């Protein structure tokens, strides 16, 4: 059904009621949803959501129909417009405008240095670039060296934009920055000649240059959500989009059962189906900040708000099975260590790092930056407790090598390699041939005036989500090598992570469950002392870190076995080559 034609006998009619300024100021012959959308976007009171525009359009038409003094020709025309709202052509137009609105919002959030009228025009140009497929994904690595390299190539940005405009395909955004290739249609690309055009702007801002360059370098849209998630410039906006009301309290994994019953390793088909059904219910606005979207089954329960597809019994069973696979058990410390803690750390002990930590406690009752907190708490603890020479702990803003591999796997070999995602700490098994990174750590903020955490609940959740994805990528990187190892044995590979929130430490574990799903659970947690008279609390952290060290060495042993079995299977043709079903699409 095409858009209703305007009656040629219409006189210049404007709706007289001041409630709807669009109909007051616009000739009835130009009433259309697209024109209404453009006017709303540039109005003094800009809408906050696209649905607000659409709902106001429908309400306005209904209101006009009910007025007594409106000419019958106008009432008829309004009725035809409302009928047109149900057509496929209108739905295509509605989708195109909604995509445009998403781009407009992103542009609005990224600026604030110009006047509102100028902002609106600039935002529409950027939105037009998005609809035409010219605007690429903003990445977290907009570093100066790559910008210089882009200029040195002599590439003309305007030419690239024009080439994109002439292309036979364009991008559709079902969520901000998630591009899907679709074929252009008149209803989604072109509008009435009498109306404002949404053609691409020939001039782009400097951020558009960088965005486009990143898009061209990637050649794929698979990692666009990751770019959005890990880009520090997007962090404030992401944090604002997280609703604390849908975050549950974290649940620690149950104790390891003593049952000797052997259970199958393969995940139950009903669980797979239920998990995928749950994924399909995640709202578009929350997908990028929901672990399940990244195929991670969050057994801490924090992100499983209103998950009706997986019952509490299912979660409990999965948690118990994961706990049994990890077999996390903290061993009591040796006698001399117990005596040291019982004396409130007064007895002279060879562990100089714990002594240093005690002398620095006075600062934990006041303000500290994230870096200061990290280097005066977990850094000396790890250095003093991890005594094996098989694990190398690296501190600072360090790259996770697995994410470096992921980001460059499908990259152009003639382009500069892109840096991996950064973490605050990583532990490398230096005696493994692939230098496997078995532990990742993140510190969420520092301390405020009274020594309490500065990071809000949403910031902690976001850092935890990033930690999950980095751990997942590390498992993927390892298992991609194990093409001649059975899936059941690959499921035994477990890696660990920790998150510091003020003086609290949470310790997590993750493994691959098959079917592209990963289990993530909270294995232990502890509190660090903030005064010299409570140093005995250190015993908790000591026992956990010693257990973590032992578990890391178990992972080293398993990793070597997997690589050896893979080599034998490959060269001796003992087993057939198989591709593990990993989540690599994002």
Instruction: Please give the backbone phi and psi of residue 507, each rounded to the nearest 5 degrees, phi first.
Output: -120, 130
pLDDT at residue 1, rounded to an integer: 58
Q: What is the mean pLDDT of residues 311-321?
A: 93
Those residues whose C-beta lies under 8 Å from the C-beta of residue 317, and which sit 6 or more positions away, are none
Confidence band of 153 (pLDDT split at 50, 70, 90): very low
Question: How far is residue 396 CA from its own chain's centroid?
Answer: 22
Which is more confident, 15 or 465?
Answer: 465
**Structural contact between residues 239 and 456, judged by C-beta atoms closer than 8 angstroms:** yes
**Is the pLDDT confidence value at 402 over 90?**
no
Q: Tell me which residue has tokens 């990583």.
A: 426
Helix (H, G, I), strand (E, B) or coil at 243: coil
Cα four-point dihedral sign 369, 370, 373, 375: negative
C-alpha distances (whole Å) from 321 to each of 261, 274, 534 are 11, 17, 36
C-beta atoms surrounding 23 within 10 Å = 22
Question: How far is residue 310 CA from its own chain's centroid?
Answer: 22
CA distance 65 to 76: 8
Which is more confident, 184 or 97?
Answer: 97
CA distance 238 to 176: 12
Q: Which of 42-46, 78-82, 449-453, 571-575 has the least mean pLDDT? A: 42-46
Q: Which two tokens stand for residue 49?
A: 């959501």
pLDDT at residue 213, rounded to an integer: 40
CA distance 163 to 567: 47
Which is more confident, 361 or 560?
Answer: 560
Helix (H, G, I), strand (E, B) or coil at 175: strand
| Highest mean predicted confidence (pLDDT) among 4-18, 203-217, 269-283 | 269-283
> Taking the C-alpha atoms of 35, 40, 42 and 48 in order, what is their torsion angle to the nearest 10 degrees?
-140
CA distance 211 to 103: 13
Q: Which of 51-55, 139-143, 446-450 has the least mean pLDDT? A: 139-143
Q: What is the mean pLDDT of residues 285-302?
A: 92
CA distance 11 to 72: 12
According to DSSP, the β-strands at 422-429 and 437-443 are antiparallel
Q: Please, where are the H alpha helices in 388-456? A: 401-408
pLDDT at residue 457, rounded to an integer: 93
**Is the pLDDT confidence value at 132 over 60?**
no
Closest to 325 (Cα-Cα) out of 498, 544, 547, 511: 511
Q: Which two tokens stand for residue 103?
A: 């781009």
pLDDT at residue 296, rounded to an integer: 95
**Structural contact between residues 422 and 450, judged by C-beta atoms closer than 8 angstroms:** no
pLDDT tens column, 497-536: 999 999 999 999 999 998 889 999 999 999 998 888 888 8
Q: Which of 46-55, 394-403, 492-501 has the least mean pLDDT? A: 46-55
pLDDT at residue 91, rounded to an integer: 84
Helix (H) or strand (E) holding 97: helix 88-109
**Structural contact between residues 127 and 208, judged by C-beta atoms closer than 8 angstroms:** no
CA distance 334 to 387: 15
Those residues whose C-beta lies under 8 Å from the C-beta of residue 382, and which sit 6 or more positions away, are 393, 425, 545
pLDDT at residue 581, rounded to an integer: 66
pTM value is 0.62
pLDDT at residue 176, rounded to an integer: 33
pLDDT at residue 71, rounded to an integer: 80
C-beta atoms surrounding 445 within 10 Å = 19
**Structural contact between residues 506 and 525, judged by C-beta atoms closer than 8 angstroms:** yes
Q: What is the mean pLDDT of residues 179-205?
A: 36
**Is the pLDDT confidence value at 203 over 60?**
no
CA distance 476 to 401: 12
pLDDT tens column, 249-276: 999 999 988 765 566 666 788 999 999 9
Full 3-state SS string of 343-401? CCCCCCCCCHHHHHHHHCHHHHHCCECHHHHHHHCHHHHHHHHCCCCCEEEEEEEEECH
How high is the mean pLDDT of the chain?
75
pLDDT at residue 351, rounded to an integer: 58
pLDDT at residue 180, rounded to an integer: 30
Closest to 250 (Cα-Cα) out of 441, 543, 523, 544: 523
pLDDT at residue 79, rounded to an integer: 85
pLDDT at residue 254, rounded to an integer: 95
pLDDT tens column, 18-29: 566 777 778 777
**Is the pLDDT confidence value at 217 over 60?**
no
């Amino acid at each position: 059904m095409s858009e209703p034609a305007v009656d040629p006998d219409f006189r210049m009619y404007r709706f007289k009621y001041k409630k709807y300024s669009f109909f007051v100021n616009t000739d009835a012959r130009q009433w259309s949803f697209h024109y209404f959308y453009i006017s709303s976007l540039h109005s003094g009171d800009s809408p906050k959501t696209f649905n607000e525009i659409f709902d106001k359009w429908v309400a306005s038409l209904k209101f006009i129909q009910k007025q007594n003094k409106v000419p019958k020709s106008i009432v008829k025309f309004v009725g035809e417009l409302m009928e047109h709202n149900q057509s496929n052509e209108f739905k295509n137009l509605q989708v195109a405008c909604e995509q445009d609105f998403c781009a407009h919002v992103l542009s609005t959030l990224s600026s604030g240095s110009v006047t509102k009228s100028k902002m609106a025009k600039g935002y529409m140009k950027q939105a037009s670039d998005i609809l035409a497929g010219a605007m690429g994904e903003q990445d977290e690595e907009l570093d100066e060296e790559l910008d210089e390299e882009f200029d040195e190539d002599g590439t003309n940005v305007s030419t690239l934009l024009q080439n994109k405009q002439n292309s036979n395909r364009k991008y559709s955004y079902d969520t901000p920055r998630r591009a899907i290739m679709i074929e252009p249609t008149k209803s989604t690309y072109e509008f009435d000649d009498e109306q404002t055009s949404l053609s691409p702007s020939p001039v782009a801002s400097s951020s558009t240059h960088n965005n486009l360059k990143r898009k061209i370098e990637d050649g794929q849209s698979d990692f666009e959500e990751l770019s959005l998630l890990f880009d520090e410039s997007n962090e404030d906006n992401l944090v604002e989009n997280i609703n604390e009301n849908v975050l549950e309290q974290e649940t620690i994994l149950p104790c390891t059962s003593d049952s000797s019953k052997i259970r199958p390793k393969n995940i139950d088909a009903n669980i797979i189906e239920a998990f995928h059904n749950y994924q399909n219910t995640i709202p578009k606005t929350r997908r990028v900040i929901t672990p399940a979207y990244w195929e991670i089954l969050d057994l801490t329960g924090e992100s499983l708000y209103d998950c009706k597809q997986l019952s509490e019994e299912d979660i409990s069973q999965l948690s118990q099975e994961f706990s049994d696979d990890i077999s996390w058990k903290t061993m009591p410390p040796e006698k001399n260590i117990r005596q040291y803690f019982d004396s409130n750390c007064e007895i002279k002990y060879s562990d100089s790092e714990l002594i240093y930590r005690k002398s620095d406690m006075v600062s934990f009752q006041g303000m500290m930056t994230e870096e200061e907190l990290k280097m005066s708490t977990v850094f000396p603890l790890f250095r003093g407790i991890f005594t094996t020479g098989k694990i190398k702990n690296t501190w600072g803003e360090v790259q996770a090598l697995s994410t470096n591999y992921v980001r460059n796997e499908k990259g152009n070999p003639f382009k500069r390699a892109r840096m991996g995602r950064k973490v605050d700490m990583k532990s490398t098994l230096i005696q493994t041939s692939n230098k496997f990174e078995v532990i990742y750590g993140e510190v969420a903020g520092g301390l405020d005036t009274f020594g309490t955490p500065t990071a809000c609940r949403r910031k902690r959740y976001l850092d935890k989500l990033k930690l999950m994805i980095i751990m997942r990528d590390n498992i993927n990187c390892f298992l991609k090598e194990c093409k001649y190892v059975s899936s059941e044995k690959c499921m035994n590979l477990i890696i660990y992570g920790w998150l510091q929130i003020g003086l609290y430490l949470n310790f997590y574990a993750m493994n691959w469950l098959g079917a592209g799903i990963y289990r993530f659970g909270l294995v232990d947690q502890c509190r660090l002392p903030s005064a010299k008279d409570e140093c005995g609390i250190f015993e908790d952290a000591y026992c956990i870190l010693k257990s973590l060290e032992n578990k890391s060495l178990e992972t080293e042993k398993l990793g070597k076995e997997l690589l050896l079995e893979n080599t034998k299977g490959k060269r001796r043709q003992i087993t057939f080559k198989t591709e593990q079903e990993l989540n690599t699409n994002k």
